């Protein structure tokens, strides 16, 4: 078995938070990081800083001042041709990771969806659902391939009642509404994906799992009004590579650093067969 450490992190500006990413990389040593909301064009990305961290292989989908995703890796990457965003935003990058046992790494920043959970009244919410529909079409069509796939990113949906600080109070709040939860369930079902966090921690334990806290929360440990918006999923071919509870961690301590992102990095260790 070869363990590989994967990370997903909405950094809310990669140029601003490159020093924090370097600090985290030095502490935790992830092999691959899926970054979301990098907020820069490809040519503005701080390549040198990431190569100094040990990430020689970088694939980016950038956009000026908003959105944007990047996958940085210690293993060679081959870009895959995918198109999920009906608005043409830089919200995904798909790569084949060339380890001894290659696998696909799909990095997503799903639209947040605005404030009104009604696709007829709110174009942003309709965009979110359309984006997920395209993901369902793509991964559903490939289910028979038995591909080794990892999906990571800021999905902007907290699906389980223990993925939010208050299930009842957030049922009508975008990110936890029934229509979004159902859309995400369809995505998970189309590829028979395993949600790593819930696979290792379980729903029955009633354990709250959060990866995002509003900037309005001055002390997240005191109020702890969070949501689990950041996910790492694996396809059936990689299900057995998911380990025990220690294999999946949300590093909420990073949310307490000075000038942090509102998201904490999420780690998943997979035991890949050589």
3-class SS of residue 186: helix
Give domain limits for the chain: 2-272
Looking at residue 226, its pLDDT comes to 96
- DSSP strand pairing (32-36 vs 194-195): unpaired
* Percent residues over pLDDT 70 in the chain: 97
Reply yes or no on whether the pLDDT at 204 is more than 70: no
Reply yes or no on whether the pLDDT at 1 is more than 90: no
Instruction: Kindly tell me the burial class for residue 259, based on how many C-beta atoms sit within 10 Å of its own C-beta (0-12, 13-18, 19 or more).
Output: exposed
Check if the beta carbon of residue 6 is closer than 8 Å to that of residue 268: yes
> What's the CATH code, domain 2-272?
3.60.10.10
Beta-bridge partner residues of 103: 97
Per-residue tokens: 180: 């979004």
Q: How many CB atoms lie within 10 A of CB 1?
A: 10
Q: What is the mean pLDDT of residues 93-120?
A: 97
- DSSP strand pairing (2-10 vs 266-272): antiparallel
| Residue of 205, 202, 159 whose CA lies nearest to 184 | 159
Q: What is the mean pLDDT of residues 115-143?
A: 97
Looking at residue 222, its pLDDT comes to 85
Q: What is the pTM of this model?
A: 0.97
């Amino acid at each position: 078995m070869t363990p590989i450490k994967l990370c997903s992190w909405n950094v809310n500006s990669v140029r601003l938070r490159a020093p924090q990413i370097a600090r985290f990389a030095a502490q935790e040593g992830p092999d691959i990081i899926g970054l979301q909301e990098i907020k820069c064009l490809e040519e503005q990305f701080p390549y040198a800083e990431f190569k100094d961290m040990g990430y020689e292989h970088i694939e980016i989908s950038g956009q000026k001042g908003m959105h944007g995703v990047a996958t940085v890796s210690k293993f060679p990457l081959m870009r895959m041709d995918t198109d999920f965003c009906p608005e043409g935003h830089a919200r995904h990058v798909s790569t084949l990771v060339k380890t001894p046992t290659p696998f696909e790494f799909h990095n997503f920043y799903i639209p947040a969806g605005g404030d009104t959970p009604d696709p007829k009244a709110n174009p942003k919410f309709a965009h979110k659902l359309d984006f997920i529909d395209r993901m369902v079409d793509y991964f559903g069509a490939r289910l028979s391939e038995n591909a080794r796939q990892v999906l990571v990113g800021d999905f902007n949906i907290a699906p389980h009642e223990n993925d939010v600080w208050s299930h009842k109070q957030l049922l009508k709040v975008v990110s936890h509404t029934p229509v979004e939860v159902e859309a995400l369930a369809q995505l998970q079902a189309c590829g028979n994906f395993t949600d790593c966090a819930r696979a290792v921690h379980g729903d029955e334990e009633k354990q709250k799992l959060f990866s995002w806290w509003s900037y309005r929360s001055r002390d997240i440990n005191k109020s702890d009004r969070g949501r689990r918006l950041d996910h790492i999923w694996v396809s059936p071919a990689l299900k057995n590579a998911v380990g025990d509870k220690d294999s999946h961690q949300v590093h909420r301590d990073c949310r307490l650093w000075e000038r942090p992102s509102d998201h904490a990095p999420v780690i998943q260790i997979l035991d890949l067969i050589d």
